[in-house]
Amino acid sequence: MIVVTGGAGFIGSALVWRLNELGETDILVVDDLGSDEKWRNLNGLRFRDYQEKDAFLADVQAGTLDPHPIETLFHLGACSSTTETDARYLIQNNFEYTKTLARFAVRREIRFVYASSAATYGDGSQGYADTEELTPALLPLNMYGYSKQLFDAWALREGLLKKLVGLKYFNVFGPNEWHKGDMRSMVCKGYEQIEAEGAIRLFKSHRPDYGDGEQERDFLYVKDAVDMTLFFHTAREPMGLFNVGTGTSRTWNDLARAIFAALERPPRIHYIDMPETLRARYQYHTRAEPQKLRDAGYRQPTAPLEAAVADYVRHYLVPGRHLGGAPVG
């Protein structure tokens, strides 16, 4: 059996979708559905069972889990909001919960693959190397990144990174992110802005070395992200931290133009002031260093930005569908 925590979330539900494509349905989905529309991401997907995250944690701690042996535990569940300010909640949800599952997996000799984040790299001034040497020195810019950094550093100190896989996801976008509100990708939000206003709004630059909209990100299509993630299910030996990105930086202007091109419309971009509260915590450049992943044996190329955006816009945003085929509303 495969367990996917955060299985109704963005990357988690895409992972279940890809597993279904590969013929795998012996899956336990764990999440916290709450009262939003996240449940729709599961509509059309096939899995053995669903369990709420608190009940799953209680079963892990009590040793009363489903008796089916677990082959891989993909721990993708977390609060992923980079603007969340409740530090206690982030510590409990992203750090303590992950520690409990990691210890459980190591005791049971279960393959444990967990979501770290590129937010751990902070402003990028120390580079983006997914090495154990760099890990303790990283300085995230927000509490979300810090909660992920705490676990990476703890796992390193405890010697567990030699027994676990941590994936540092860069800027992932694609279908099944509808429920994420303000944390949706610019592709999703930009599409909605075009439909409503005929233009996309991007932040102005507040640094002289970057033009407006020329801030850079390593944009990764969610279908590539799940293929990279599943590599660590089939390849049992690689352990440690791995960047999950394309290895290429593109600008927000590039992304906006790709959305307009997918809709066959001329680009119209309006630049707006960045909120004061974000300026000190804003990343102006990210780019994954993917060589460690390649050295581990992952060989698939990633989709070019324009092709990935076109697939997302034309096959999911315009028709309003999830990866499982279910309508959004």
Region class of 137: left (phi > 0), else alpha (psi between -120 and 50), else beta: alpha
Cα atoms in the Cβ-side hemisphere of radius 13 Å centred on 165: 29
- 241 vs 230: CA distance, rounded Å: 15
Q: Please count the residues of the chain.
A: 329
**CB contact at 8 A, 113 and 74:** yes
Q: Select which of 144, 282, 312, 316 is catalytic.
A: 144
- Which residues, in sequence order, are bridge partners of residue 28? 3, 49
Please pick, among 180, 210, 271, 292, the residue that the annotation labels catalytic: 180
Assign 75 to helix, strand or coil: strand
Sign, CA dihedral 172-93-232-150, equals positive
Q: Is 204 among the catalytic positions?
A: no
Q: What is the residue whose two structure tokens read 């001329």?
A: 266
Catalytic residue list contains 144 = yes
Cβ neighbour number for residue 147 with a 10 Å cutoff: 26
Write down the residue that tokens 């992943």 correspond to. Answer: 293
Distance of CA 275 to the CA centre of its chain: 24
Q: How is residue 92 written in tokens?
A: 């409990």
**What CA–CA distances, in Å, run from 313 to 37, 64, 188, 201, 221?**
20, 43, 8, 17, 12
Asked if 144 and 79 touch (Cβ cutoff 8 Å), the reply is: yes
Characterize the bridge pairing of strands 250-251 and 216-217: antiparallel
Indicate which residues carry an active-site annotation.
Answer: 144, 180
